[in-house]
């Protein structure tokens, strides 16, 4: 069980993030004293699309998915964020509502920082804004790749690519393969890959049988990453 964060713990979490690199220690410490820790159960929303952007958030533990609700009523997962990752910051800087919802995928703890001190920090330190822009640029490139994949790639390639992306970012390599260190539901995998949960269940079930995947409790293990990479790179015939 996580122990409640002290201002010193909050300052350490902030310093570990590139966005806050170069901010003088006294300012980091002052910001940390304003931080609030917030816990969310699995499937609970941190904020909803259209809510006023009053906070910048950092994941302390667990995972948060960034979700847009389409006109058809289907959820589109834009990003899955793990420990140390920032979200909600661009909306704070632009003083506009959050453009997407943020939802915990498991028991999750976040640190939230009020908007006004973040805006003041951005005024004093242009590097903070640059680092935020670089972060968003990386996420936009990933989103562009995902959209391109939805348009041209077979569903198995999309599912394989999603698993590989998560494994490369957070996976733990062991003798049995690369383990995702969190419970990835078939629904979340489907949402991130632009397919239905029924298809994700069917394909993952087949990969479990043929040895490309295995399970360690509730966690997926990529036992044959190379086979999945071949699928991910498969072109439309």
pLDDT given at position 147: 54
Q: What is the pLDDT of residues 99-144, one digit of tens each?
A: 999 999 999 999 999 999 999 999 999 999 998 888 888 777 665 5
Domain ranges of the chain: 7-150, 154-232
Which range among 109-118, 169-178, 193-202 has the greatest average pLDDT?
Answer: 109-118
Scanning the structure block, which residue is given the tokens 């999309």?
A: 158
DSSP string for residues in 30-89: HHHHH-EEEEE-TT-EEE-TT----EEEEEEES-EEEEEE-TTS-EEEEEEE-TT-EESH
203 pLDDT above the threshold of 50: yes
Q: How far is CA 102 from CA 62, 65, 122, 136, 205, in A?
A: 13, 6, 23, 16, 29
Q: What is the pLDDT of residues 144-168, one digit of tens each?
A: 555 555 545 789 998 999 999 899 8
Taking residues 15-36, what's their average pLDDT? 93
The Cα–Cα gap between 167 and 175 comes to: 15
Among 196, 192, 226, CA closest to 211: 226
- Please answer whether residues 17 and 86 qualify as being in contact, where contact means their C-beta atoms are separated by less than 8 angstroms: yes
Q: Which fold has domain 154-232?
A: Arc Repressor Mutant, subunit A (1.10.10)
Scanning the structure block, which residue is given the tokens 């539901």?
A: 185
* More confident call, 234 vs 189: 189
Q: Which fold has domain 7-150?
A: Jelly Rolls (2.60.120)
pLDDT given at position 235: 46
What pTM was estimated for this model as a whole? 0.79
Name the pLDDT band for 200 (thresholds 50, 70, 90).
Answer: very high
């Amino acid at each position: 069980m996580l122990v409640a964060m002290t201002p010193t713990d909050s300052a350490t979490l902030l310093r570990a993030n590139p966005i806050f690199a170069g901010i003088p220690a006294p300012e980091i410490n002052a910001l940390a004293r304003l931080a609030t820790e917030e816990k969310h159960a699995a499937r609970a929303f941190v904020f909803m699309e259209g809510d006023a952007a009053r906070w910048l958030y950092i994941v302390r533990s667990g995972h948060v998915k960034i979700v847009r609700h389409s006109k058809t009523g289907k959820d589109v997962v834009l990003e899955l964020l793990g420990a140390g990752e920032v979200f909600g910051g661009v909306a704070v800087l632009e003083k506009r509502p959050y453009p997407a919802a943020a939802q915990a995928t498991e028991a999750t703890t976040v640190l939230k920082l009020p908007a006004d001190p973040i805006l003041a920090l951005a005024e004093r330190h242009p590097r903070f804004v640059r680092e935020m822009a670089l972060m968003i640029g990386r996420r936009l490139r990933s989103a562009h790749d995902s959209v391109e994949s939805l348009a041209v790639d077979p569903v198995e390639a999309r599912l394989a690519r999603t698993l590989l992306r998560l494994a490369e970012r957070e996976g733990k390599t062991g003798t049995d393969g690369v383990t995702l260190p969190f419970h990835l539901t078939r629904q979340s995998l489907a949402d991130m890959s632009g397919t239905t949960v029924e298809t994700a269940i069917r394909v993952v079930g087949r990969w479990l049988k043929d040895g490309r995947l295995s399970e360690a409790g509730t966690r997926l293990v990529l036992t044959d990453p190379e086979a999945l990479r071949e699928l991910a790179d498969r072109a439309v015939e």
